[in-house]
Amino acid sequence: MLTEKNKKEEEKIKTGKKRHQRNFMYNQWIVKNIPFYFFISAIAIIYIANGHYADKTMRKINETEKNLKEMEYEFKTVKQQVIFRSKESELAKAVEPLGLKPLVVPPFRIVDTLEEK
């Protein structure tokens, strides 16, 4: 009986040693791969930062496009107003309070009859 009991205890000790060796090997493998884990972590951080940067850039682009459209509309409105106000009838209305009147007689050309030689 003692021998059987001793055999069981020895087996337990051997399996414990094997487990300890496996755990040690596993821990050693984990420690050996720590630089790889840091590398993967750095790539993940860069990936997340790049996503945030892309979102921020897209927001700026959209805001700029919106401002550009507003400026285009404003330009078209001002251009239309300038074209409207530069018509002869509108111009005559605008300068009437100053005492200016449109020409009734067409303009004539002054020709210099003396030619310098």
Structure tokens at 95: 């300068």
Scanning the chain, the segments in alpha helix (DSSP H) are 2-32, 34-85, 88-95
Q: How much is the pTM? A: 0.53
pLDDT value of residue 15? 64
Kindly tell me if the per-residue pLDDT of 16 is higher than 70: no
**Structural domain for 53, as ranges:** 35-73
Average pLDDT of the chain?
85
Regarding whether 13 and 43 lie in a shared domain, the answer is no
Tokens for 20, please give them. Answer: 């300890």
Which tens digit of pLDDT belongs to each residue from 54-89?
A: 999 999 999 999 999 999 999 999 999 999 988 888
Q: Give the chain's domain count.
A: 2
Q: Is residue 65, in this structure, part of any structural domain at all? A: yes
